[in-house]
């Protein structure tokens, strides 16, 4: 053990590797938990011990074997993903043992990573877990994906699907900060209560216990819908289209209802609505805003300090439960941001 | 007859009135040809005799009885539409008998219309019929709908559906002027020949004789598709989505394949493509660009003079054939702009 290390590396590095391409909803057997050797950091590298792992909807796309906006994770690869770690051994002047960092070393307990450019987190400013949530990718996804693409104006009606998730729960609050009328859609009564009682949504409904989405949306959006932030797609989004107002904007952030389908699902054609309402429907991947990350972090942190923004983390304990957490998140078991404490 | 009138008004004003809401493709019996009395112009008005009538795809939407972006034409109303007319009697200092004007008095041989604000056409600058085509609404639809919404860059691949129609045939040429690789889709071999031999499209195919749109598009667009200008929707557009490049733009101008359907047709869901490719899909109605009309007319007229832009008119003779022309246009019988010479 190096003189600059803290804690015990124990020599064993547990990893989750992709074992099979999932068909439909991923199963635990699609991943294998293996014991690797804890790597030795090279010159300029640090050895990090994973503290928090992120499980996110986009990961479902990475394991299909199809190149989308990023290369797929291959069978036998350590599953990709963001993580917060603590430096246990350093061969770089930039980081010291004990430092917290944000990185993309995936689902493993230890990693040897290049120190240069690795974002260092200050636990005095915010809990380090927020770097995977409200002050990280999901937070920036909500901030830029909603504000830049939807361009909301005060008084407009905003509908958010997946409204109790890591991203959606922030979008609804940002929409309220901007003076909009906000309607959230989520899949549990407890989530609906959280949205309306704690996060300030004007109304919300549980799509699992609502039969007529269209009638419900019409009632909750008497002036029509100006902005739609979509995390789910499918039947919920079908019901939104006919209620969109002229010059409405749709930010397509996720389509979680479609990710586990083996074949593209048919649905009602939407382009006539796009035409006659002059809608703008735009998809985005958060990387496109990466050069403006600082602006987003600064604003979100300020809203947090001012108490205008709340966030919630659902922490699953134990590295070995990462796959369970991932599958649970895909089924909507989380309220707010789903994390694994390794 | 007034001292300032020219020609004979004959006292009879033939009109086409909406007789029934069409179910599917409109039939001739959905309109009735009636003899009305030629109106007398009031103070500040002119009596115009229709010279050219326009038949356009958007008119199908006006007779459904559903308010979209404009009020529907009601049963018993004179069918709405743009026309070019010649003043036969004037009770205004702004216009004199013999003047050509552009207006929106619909499918009738005569109309008494307010002179103030009525665009006067100079037959020495361009044939007056062009005010209904390349230098009118279809021309501006092509110009703004393509350039503003697709924002094409040199070297990009542009696909145009309805490529031999009034709008599409101009879009393809504007795309060539902007240095793009252009692929047109149309419904007759004669149209394909016109697109590739005369209008400069890099390639084009006949969707009526092509079985695999996807394979054909893949072959003709080896670098993928950056911009799609859609006039038709349906299966053709379904095939375009998976071939769109990252940050692709789609201008939704028309959905003619859908206009005659009684129920919204199901099709493959497209929003996952919108998401992973970060597409921008935007619908538009030309009225949104009306304050920039002058800019568009000026540029299109210049391209016409420079020989960079060609246009074609398909003129049906005889007011009484207006409904036939309209139905024929909806079935794609026209190459270029369909007009009726009254």
Q: What ipTM describes this predicted complex?
A: 0.91
Residues of A in contact with B270 (CB under 8 A): 270
Task: Report residue A170: phi and psi, to 5°.
Answer: -80, -40
Structure token pair of residue A218 = 């019409």
Instruction: Please determine, for residue A246, whether its predicted confidence score (pLDDT) is greater than 90.
Output: yes
Q: Which residues in chain B have their CB less than 8 angstroms from residue A69's CB?
A: 246, 276-278
- Whether the predicted pLDDT of B61 surpasses 80: yes
Model confidence at B264, pLDDT cuts 50, 70, 90, reads confident
- Shortest CA gap B201–chain A (Å): 25
- Nearest-Cα distance to chain A for B160, in Å, is 16
Cα A333 → chain centroid: 14
Calculate what percentage of chain A has a pLDDT beyond 70: 96
Residue A2 has pLDDT above 50, yes or no: no
More confident residue, B69 or B202: B202
For residue B253, list chain A residues with Cβ-Cβ distance below 8 A: 275
Mean pLDDT of B18-27: 95
Query: Is pLDDT of B241 > 50?
Result: yes
Between residues 255 and 294 of chain B, which touch chain A (CB distance below 8 Å)?
Answer: 255, 258, 264-285, 288
Of the CA atoms within 13 Å of residue A241, those in its CB half-sphere come to 22
Task: Say what the pTM is.
Answer: 0.92
- Classified as helix, coil or strand, A99 is coil
pLDDT digits (tens, 9 = 90+) for A188-235: 999 999 999 999 999 999 999 999 999 999 999 999 999 999 999 999
User: Shortest Cα distance from B244 to chain A (angstroms)?
Assistant: 12
Low-confidence winner among A3-17, A183-197, A302-316, B13-27 (lowest mean pLDDT): A3-17
Q: Is A172 exposed, middle or buried (0-12, 13-18, 19+ CB in 10 A)?
A: buried
pLDDT surpasses 60 at A5: no
CA distances from B50 to A223, B53, B255 (A): 42, 7, 29
Q: Alpha-carbon distance B208 to A207, whole Å? A: 42
Please give, rounded to a whole number of angstroms, the shortest distance from the CA of B157 to a CA of chain A: 20
A253 to chain B, any CB pair closer than 8 A? The answer is yes
Of B272, B277, B283, the CB nearest to A255: B272
* Contact: B285, A276; criterion CB under 8 Å: yes
**Do residue A266 and residue B271 have CB atoms under 8 angstroms apart?**
no
Q: What pLDDT score does B232 carry? A: 96
How much is the average pLDDT of B128-146?
97
Reported as a pLDDT band with limits 50, 70 and 90, residue A277 is very high
Q: Rounded to 5 degrees, what are φ and ψ at A319?
A: -50, -40
Supply φ then ψ for residue B228, to 5 degrees.
Answer: -130, 125
Q: What integer is the mean pLDDT of B134-152?
A: 98
Structural domains in chain A plus CATH codes: 12-129+312-341 (3.90.180.10), 137-287 (3.40.50.720)
Q: What is the pLDDT of residues A48-97, one digit of tens each?
A: 999 999 999 999 989 987 776 677 899 999 999 999 999 999 999 999 99
- Chain B: residue nearest A256 by CA? B272
| Confidence (pLDDT) at B10 | 66
Q: Which helix (H) or strand (E) holds B4?
A: none
B-chain CB neighbours of A167 within 8 Å are none
Interchain contact, A266 vs B270, CB within 8 Å: no
Which of chain B's residues have a Cβ under 8 Å away from the Cβ of A256? Answer: none
Residue for token pair 């920036």: A140
Give me the total of CB pairs closer than 8 Å, taking one residue from chain A and one from chain B.
120
A254 in B contact zone (CB under 8 Å): yes
Q: Where are the beta strands (DSSP E) in A178-261?
A: 181-186, 203-206, 225-230, 244-252
- Chain A residues closer than 8 Å to B273 by CB: 283
CB atoms within 10 A of CB A235: 14
11-70 of A, contacting B, C-beta below 8 A: 61, 68-69
**In this predicted model, what pLDDT tens digit does every residue of A174-193 receive, in sequence order?**
999 999 999 999 999 999 99
B interface test, pick of A281, A284, A288 with most B CB neighbours within 10 Å? A281
């Amino acid at each position: 053990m190096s003189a600059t290390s803290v804690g015990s590396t124990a020599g064993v590095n547990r990893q989750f590797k992709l074992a099979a391409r999932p068909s439909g909803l991923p199963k635990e057997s699609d991943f294998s938990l293996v014991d690797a050797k804890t790597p030795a950091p090279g010159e300029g590298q640090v050895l990090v011990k994973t503290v928090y792992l992120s499980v996110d909807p986009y990961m479902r796309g990475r394991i299909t074997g199809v190149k989308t906006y990023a290369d797929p994770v291959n069978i036998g690869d350590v599953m990709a993903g963001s993580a917060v770690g603590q430096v246990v051994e350093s061969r770089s002047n930039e980081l010291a043992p004990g430092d917290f960092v944000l990185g993309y070393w995936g689902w493993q307990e230890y990693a040897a990573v290049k120190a240069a450019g690795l974002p260092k987190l200050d636990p005095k400013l915010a809990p380090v877990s927020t770097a995977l949530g409200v002050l990280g990718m999901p937070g920036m996804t909500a901030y830029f994906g909603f504000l830049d693409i939807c361009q909301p104006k005060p008084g407009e009606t905003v509908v958010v699907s997946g409204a109790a998730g890591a991203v959606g729960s922030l979008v609804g609050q940002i929409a309220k900060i901007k003076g909009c009328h906000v309607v959230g859609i989520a899949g549990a009564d407890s989530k609906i209560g959280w949205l309306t009682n704690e996060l300030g949504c004007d109304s919300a409904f549980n799509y699992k216990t609502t039969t007529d989405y269209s009638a419900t949306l019409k009632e909750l959006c008497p002036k029509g819908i100006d902005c739609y932030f979509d995390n789910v797609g499918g039947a919920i989004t079908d019901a939104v289209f006919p209620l969109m107002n002229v010059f409405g904007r749709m930010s397509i952030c996720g389509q979680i209802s479609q990710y586990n389908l083996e074949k593209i699902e048919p649905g009602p054609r939407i382009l006539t609505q796009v035409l006659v309402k002059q809608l703008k429907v735009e998809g985005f991947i958060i990387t496109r805003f990466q050069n403006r990350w600082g602006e987003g972090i600064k604003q979100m942190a300020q809203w947090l300090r001012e108490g205008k923004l709340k966030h919630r983390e659902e922490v699953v304990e134990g590295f070995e439960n990462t796959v369970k957490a991932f599958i649970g998140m895909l089924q909507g078991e989380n309220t707010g941001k789903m994390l694994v404490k390794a």
